[in-house]
Structures are given as C-alpha cells and as structure tokens.
Amino acid sequence: MKLDIDIGSGGPMSLHHLTRFPRLEFIGAPTPLEYLPRFSDYLGREIYIKRDDVTPMAMGGNKLRKLEFLAADALREGADTLVTAGAIQSNHVRQTAAVAARLGLHCVALLENPIGTQAENYLTNGNRLLLDLFNVEVEMCEALNAPDKQLEAVATRLEAQGFRPYVIPVGGSNALGALGYVESALEIAQQCEDAVSLSSVVVASGSAGTHAGLAVGLEQLMPDVELIGVTVSRTVAQQKPKVVALQQAVAQSLEVSATSDIILWDDYFAPGYGTPNEEGMEAVKLLARLEGILLDPVYTGKAMAGLIDGVAQKRFKDQGPIAFIHTGGAPALFAYHPHLLQLVLDSAPYLLKGAVFTLQLSIGGMFFGLILGFMLALMRLSAFWPFSLLSRFYVSIFRGTPLIAQLFMIYYGLPQFGIELDPIPSAMIGLSLNTAAYASETLRAAISSIDKGQWEAAASIGMTRWQTLRRAILPQSARVALPPLGNSFISLVKDTSLAATIQVPELFRQAQLITSRTLEVFTMYLAASLVYWGAEMSAIDVKKLVKKFHGQTVLHGIDLDVKPGEVVAIIGPSGSGKTTLLRSINLLEEPDSGTIQVGDITIDAGQSLARQKENIRALRQQVGFVFQNFNLFPHRTVLENIIEGPVIVKGEPKAEAVARARELLEKVGLSGKENSYPRRLSGGQQQRVAIARALAMRPEVILFDEPTSALDPELVGEVLNTIRQLADEKRTMVIVTHEMSFARDVADRAIFMDQGKIVEQGPAKALFASPQQPRTRQFLEKFLTQ
C-alpha cells in the first residue's frame, strides 16, 4: 500500500519524489509500531519496536523494503536473474531468493564464511537451508573483500552464458534500495503523529542502507528525533563514511538536503561480524522472555544490547520514548545453536567476576553503612533532642521507602541538580545510606542493653563519656549486635541485585512513564517513594511476642501487623489470649520477649523494660485503650476525665483541651454531660466517655478490650454505633470482641485466636463466610448456622 501523507511539493520532502521510482509490493506496509510494556518496565523507559520482522515473505525481514525498489528496477531492465552476495547466514540473500522465486527469476548468490567455522549447523541450517528450498545457485568464496567487483565478475560470466543478470549489492544497500527506509520513516512519522513523542530511534548499522534511508527520512519528517546506529561489523571510523556517502546519495536522488550528523555506537559488535557475543545473546533471551519477540544474534541482538546499555549509561539525549527498528533475522538462530550453547558455558568466568563484584559492593555498603549507622545511633541516644529527632526521621525515611526508589533518586534524580554519578558510586551510596538506617537501630539497641552500672563504674574512675563508650560499652554491645548485623549483611548481598537491574514494578511503572514525558525525574520518584512510605508504614507491628504467667506461656510468639486506617477484630474463646495480647501491646502487661512497634517507637521486650520507660510512655501516648470495665476516674467529672491526659501528660493548654473534649462528647452523643460524675451515667454512657477519653490523646491507634461485655444488652448498640462511626472515619483500631455480627460487618480483617496462638486470619467477611481451619469452623459453627 502507499501511505497517504500529503507533504506537498513545498514540504520538506515531496512524496511524489518517492513514488516516481518503480516499485513492487512485497511487505504490505505499514509494519506495526508496538509498545513493549514488560520490557519498558524492565528498563524503566518507554520502549517501542518497529516490527519489520513480520513482513510476509520468507520468515520476514527488512530487506523486502529495499527489494521492492530493486526488484522493480530489475524487471524494468528486463533481467531474468538476480545476483547478490552475503554471508552464509545472510538475511538479505534469503529474502532476495524468495523475491526471485516469487517473480520467476533465477537467483545466484555469492557467499562467504565470515567466522570460519565448519560447524554443520552453521553451514547447512538456518538461512542456508532456506536458500536450498528457494533453489538458489550458490557460489562460495573465501571472502567478500571487494564485493562490488566480485559481483560484477559473476554477472559478466552469466551474461556470457546468455542470462540477463541484475546485480543487487550486499544488503541491498545503494541509493535505490535505501528508499525503502525513507518510506519506513514516513510510516513512523504517521504512526507517532498523535500517540507517541519519540525521542530516539535505534537501528543496527551494517551495510548502511537501512541506516542511511532512515537518516534522510527522519531528518525531513521528525528532525528532533535522535537516530542511533549500532554497528554490527565495523568501528565508527570505518562505518561512518559509508553511511554518510549513502545518506547523501539518497538525499540527492530525492532532491532534498541531508545535513544531520550520523551517530554511531561501536561498543557492541565484538568479536566481529557474524559472531554472537554475550551481551547480544542476553538481549535476545531478554526480549524473548519478556515480550515473546525473537531477535537474531548477528544484527538485532547486538543493536538491542546497545539500546539496553545506552539506557543504563544514560547515553541517549533525554529520557523520552525510544523506538527500536527490528530488521528481522530469526532464522539465523537455528544456525547458531551449538555456538550459543558454548556461549553459555563460556559465561562462567563472567558470573564469577560478577559474584566477586557483588561481594565487594556488599562489603563496601556494609562498611560505610556501619559508620553512618553508628553516628545515627549516638544521635538517637543523645540528650540533645534535635539530634534524636533527626536520627528518627532519617531511619523512618530510609526504612519506610524501597531501596529501589532510593537508587532511582540518586542515579536518575540527582543529575537534575547538576550532580551526576556513575552507576557504581550511585549503588554504593544508595546501599550505604539504606544499610545505615537498619544498622543504627541494631547498634542503638545493643548500646542500650548494657547495664547502667557500667557507665557509672567508668565515670567513677574519671573516664570521659567517649572513653567509656570506646573502652567499656562498645566491646560489650558488640556481642549483642553482631548476630543481627550478620543477618543484615546477608540481606545486603541480595539487595545488590537491585543495583544491577534498576527495575521497578507496579507503582514505579507509572512514575517512569510520566517521567519520560515530563522529565521531572526527581519529583516523580520522590512522589512514588512517599506513596510507598505511607503504604509500608505499619500503625502496629508486633513480632514474636511471648508472654508467660507463672511459667505458663499464654502468648506463643505472636506476629501482628496493623496498617494505618485498618480495623482488626480479634475473636476467640475465653482464655485464648486476646486480652493479654491487647494489654501487652500497650505494655499494661509486660511481655517476656518480642518487639512492639507503634509508628517510629519500638519496644524490645527481650531487653530491660525499666530502661525503656521513656519509650513506653511515648508509645502509650500514641495508643488509646478502652477497657472492658470503663476504668473512668470516679472522683472526676466527665470533662475532667477527658482532659486529664492532654493537659497533664501532653501539656496542652487547658482551654484547648476543654474545647476538644466538648467536641468529642458531642461526637459520642453525650453533650450536656460534661459536669456529670461517672456513677451518674449508664454503662453505655460510661463506655462512650472512655472512648472520648482515648480519642482526646489523638492516638495513632485505639485498642478496644471487649468494650460491650460489661453492658446490658439494650446498651450494647449505642457503644457499637460509636465504634462503627470511628471505623467509617478510617481510624486504626484493634477490637477484642464477642459481638460476631459486629466483627464481620465492621472489621477489615478478623483474627481468630486459640490457646495463645493466631489460628487463622483474613478479610473479615471471608473468614466468617468460609473459615479454613477446623478450629475456626468449630468456634463459628453456631454463628454460621444462625
């Protein structure tokens, strides 16, 4: 088909200049321009592919574009034989043979063996097999050192035999054949017109025709697009004159100018033309596994390796979308099968080198992370509150955001502020900063675990604080810190894989796509990181919590994670440990081991709780508690009960606390009861005052310990309605209850406990509708049959 792009005689390139050349129809243009979603996710860049590999003849390929013009010219000259040359596995020769068969022409191919192999697969399979099917007359030569002269010699011999030969140069690359890729540029311009704002185009640059045709077409139609040619057989110094000469010849034939610079990358063709390399084969495997698209090991595999490395090394002019020209060549894969197996075996030294580098990166990240972590730990323990606050903020940020986000902001975001770092320093800095956040908490806990008497003993003999730390405290705390730090190092070794891949799923795909359009790299990755931070922070995080009474274990290593805004209902038979768990979270019961984290405050029950008094007080201020038996202060009025905590504990001005208390009383339906004493209220009213008292402290989470069990049945509803209202406001709540209908309808998640263990948990409605564990089903049996 002809593209309906009316540029007109006054435009940068007149379409009639292209259509006046004789042409046959082989490819059914335009070929698709497809978005590669999974590959784009992998690279963190918007990638498209121009599918010239799906042209309809002889298993596809780009040479058909050139042959539409060249074969038409051959028929115009009355030729009966097509003569061309290439390597044994030449895609061009295969497609020339197919065109000759379609047109009823004889085909003679002059072939070389550029890699010198005698492997049967290479000599008989792949493209070479297809030449036999197309009945090509094959002539072997030692080398195509002067292909134009060698082809002329073959043509002269054929003329002497009575044939009318038409010589097609290697790759179909002359000014006439390159017109096929001028038209490809027209297709790309039309396909991108309203949908994609391309920044760069990448193409394999070999015989130069494809590259030169694209250069002329894109300069006329998409002058802001950067065209990168990845060489597959020559250095830049060798390849550039060939492309420039052909570019000028094409422009002259179309009567347009060609002034754009030819950009070539020659880092990816080693060890030479026709020989696969590791980078190219990795690209072949990657695109096959991510997108189901086959590249070839000679051209497109190496060109795609250039694209992948170019993104990683930031060699493109900006962060915009990239289009890759897929020129076909998949049949050659079958010829290189034994070679590819050997390539896998030969990659072992590279894997070993990578393992050594990973270890070096891990050791470096751990070393610098420990230094910074030690400083942060001392800041956290400092009596100077700005230091302590700064340390807490640092730890919260770097523990609350993904490592991949931190690496992205360092590597891609800092250049917006004029700070450009190579990948290795970026990875080292990112890993060190992340490790420091975790190491600081380990070191702080280890230092805090040393008995206070050790500080006093050192002070008694005149040691300075630094001498005490260095000579007495650190040697003892090292024994405590080493095991968890060893685990941190193992995690760090695995985390180095992120530095190698720099890939982001889910949320970051959107950030990457937006970044490719707006170029606001730092802003977008920072925004995505903050979303992660908020999503990953837990309101409550309990790990391995154990509680014993008189030698009997009543909580067996409980793990509980409650997200902000989540309502969790804990159900189970009496004596199952529900209330003990709730009271342990608030430290009303002292656990024997395990950790409790609320926000950025962590209590380690395995250490002395007496030395964690300040943290416990801070935690309790963030955790409201509503008791089964109300526990209001009987000698104080309702208003005084509510303002006691904010005024006495938090130091709020009394007037503000009173105003807030009146709002809360209105919220729980008790306006006008400010001056009443608890004994004058019903049980339901007292419980609602208790809820208001808990809310007055502005807690991060509220714990309810069977809030209706002490109420008469007719009073239960008013308390449950108040709690239901709080759930609608997305308050974070953990509720121990025997009200099954309420737990099912109000809670986001239900937890069933029995004998001090969490037997089952899940979305509340799902757990009540279809419990998975026999014990849960037995407990809920009466409820489920109602």
Q: Give the model confidence (pLDDT) of 737-747 as tens digits.
A: 988 888 888 89
Question: What's the CA gap between 380 and 311, in Å, rounded?
Answer: 40
Task: Give the Cβ contact number of residue 535 at 10 Å.
Answer: 12
pLDDT value for 524: 47
pLDDT at 10 over 60: no
Question: What's the CA gap between 153 and 85, in Å, rounded?
Answer: 12
pLDDT in tens, 87-123: 888 899 999 999 999 999 999 999 988 766 666 666 6
Query: Are 331 and 355 members of one domain?
Result: no
Select from 73, 64, 7, 4 the least CA-distant residue to 31. 64
Mean pLDDT within 390-402: 84
Boundary-marking domain end, from 311, 346, 381: 346
Boundary-marking domain end, from 313, 346, 379: 346
pLDDT at 168 over 70: yes
Number of structural domains the chain divides into: 3
pLDDT value for 28: 81
CA atoms within 13 A on the CB side of 466: 1
Domain CATH number, residue 251: 3.40.50.1100
Cis omega (within 30 of 0) for bond into 271: yes
Question: What's the CA gap between 124 and 337, in Å, rounded?
Answer: 12
Query: Are 501 and 562 members of one domain?
Result: no
pLDDT value for 483: 66
Element (H, E) at 705: strand 701-705
Mean pLDDT within 242-247: 96
Question: What's the CA gap between 493 and 111, in Å, rounded?
Answer: 50
For residue 168, give the amino acid letter.
I
Reduce the DSSP state of residue 137 to 3 states and report it: strand
Element (H, E) at 127: helix 127-133
Query: Are 595 and 674 members of one domain?
Result: yes
Query: Are 47 and 142 members of one domain?
Result: yes
**H helix intervals, 20-126:** 37-43, 63-76, 91-103, 120-124
Asked which of 51-65, 291-305, 351-365, 386-400 is least confident by mean pLDDT, the reply is: 351-365
Q: What is the mean pLDDT of the chain?
A: 84
Question: What's the CA gap between 625 and 704, in Å, rounded?
Answer: 6
Task: State how far the alpha carbon of 231 is from the alpha carbons of 48, 117, 281, 526, 572, in Å.
Answer: 20, 22, 16, 37, 70
Q: Are 510 and 479 in contact (CB under 8 A)?
A: no
Query: Are 413 and 339 members of one domain?
Result: no
Q: Are 692 and 670 in contact (CB under 8 A)?
A: yes
Question: What's the CA gap between 528 and 539, in Å, rounded?
Answer: 20
pLDDT value for 295: 92
Domain CATH number, residue 453: 1.10.3720.10
Please, which pLDDT band fits residue 765 given cuts at 50, 70 and 90? confident
Mean pLDDT within 509-525: 46
Please, which pLDDT band fits residue 503 given cuts at 50, 70 and 90? very low
Task: Give the Cβ contact number of residue 352 at 10 Å.
Answer: 10
pLDDT at 684 over 90: no
Sign of CA dihedral 325, 330, 332, 337: positive
For residue 690, give the amino acid letter.
A
Query: Are 659 and 566 members of one domain?
Result: yes
Question: What is the bridge-based pairing of β-strands 552-562 and 540-549?
Answer: antiparallel
Task: State how far the alpha carbon of 325 is from the alpha carbons of 45, 246, 398, in Å.
Answer: 16, 19, 41
Q: Tell me the DSSP string of 512-579.
A: HHHHHHH--HHHHHHHHHHHHHHHH--SEEEEEEEEEETTEEEEEEEEEEE-TT-EEEEE--TTSSHH
pLDDT at 363 over 90: no
Query: Are 318 and 290 members of one domain?
Result: yes
pLDDT in tens, 436-456: 988 888 888 778 777 777 777
Please, which pLDDT band fits residue 535 given cuts at 50, 70 and 90? very low
Output the pTM of the full model.
0.49
pLDDT value for 101: 95
Mean pLDDT within 249-262: 90
Query: Are 64 and 26 members of one domain?
Result: yes
Query: Are 313 and 442 members of one domain?
Result: no
Question: What stretches of 67-224 adopt beta strand conformation (E)?
Answer: 81-87, 106-112, 137-140, 165-167, 200-205
More confident residue, 526 or 592: 592
Select from 145, 146, 98, 88 the least CA-distant residue to 120. 88
pLDDT at 350 over 60: no
Tokens standing for 549? Answer: 């009474």
Question: What is the bridge-based pairing of β-strands 757-763 and 749-754?
Answer: antiparallel
Write out the residue range of the structural domain in which residue 165 sits. Answer: 1-346
**Most confident segment among 40-54, 270-284, 712-726:** 40-54
Question: What's the CA gap between 259 and 247, in Å, rounded?
Answer: 9
Tokens standing for 714? Answer: 């007719």
Query: Are 508 and 560 members of one domain?
Result: no
Tokens standing for 632? Answer: 């209001």
Torsion angle, alpha carbons of 726, 727, 732, 734, to 10: 100
Q: Are 626 and 707 in contact (CB under 8 A)?
A: yes
Active-site positions read: 63, 273, 299
Torsion angle, alpha carbons of 406, 411, 415, 421, to 10: 130
Mean pLDDT within 750-774: 89
Question: What's the CA gap between 107 and 93, in Å, rounded?
Answer: 9
pLDDT value for 496: 67
Question: What's the CA gap between 627 and 666, in Å, rounded?
Answer: 21
More confident residue, 520 or 159: 159
Mean pLDDT within 696-712: 87
The torsion region of residue 480 among left (phi > 0), alpha (psi -120 to 50) and beta comes to: alpha
Exposure b/e, 606-632, CB count within 10 A at least 16 = b = ebeeeebeebbeebbbbbbbbbbebeb
Question: What's the CA gap between 336 and 343, in Å, rounded?
Answer: 10
Residue labelled with tokens 């007149």: 14
* Residues forming beta bridges with residue 472, ordered by sequence position: none
pLDDT in tens, 569-588: 999 998 899 999 999 999 99
Tokens standing for 220? Answer: 């006329």
Task: State how far the alpha carbon of 761 is from the alpha carbons of 511, 748, 782, in Å.
Answer: 34, 11, 19
Boundary-marking domain end, from 326, 346, 366: 346
Burial category of 255 from C-beta neighbours within 10 Å (exposed 0-12, middle 13-18, buried 19 and up): exposed
Domain CATH number, residue 754: 3.40.50.300
Tokens standing for 127? Answer: 């493209």
Question: What's the CA gap between 733 and 701, in Å, rounded?
Answer: 6
Q: Are 74 and 82 in contact (CB under 8 A)?
A: yes
Query: Are 33 and 160 members of one domain?
Result: yes
Mean pLDDT within 134-147: 90
Question: What's the CA gap between 655 and 646, in Å, rounded?
Answer: 11
pLDDT value for 408: 79
pLDDT value for 324: 97
pLDDT value for 714: 67
Query: Are 577 and 526 members of one domain?
Result: no
Question: What's the CA gap between 362 and 151, in Å, rounded?
Answer: 58
pLDDT in tens, 596-611: 988 878 888 888 888 8
Q: Are 295 and 287 in contact (CB under 8 A)?
A: yes
pLDDT at 1 over 80: no
More confident residue, 488 or 177: 177
Mean pLDDT within 370-390: 87
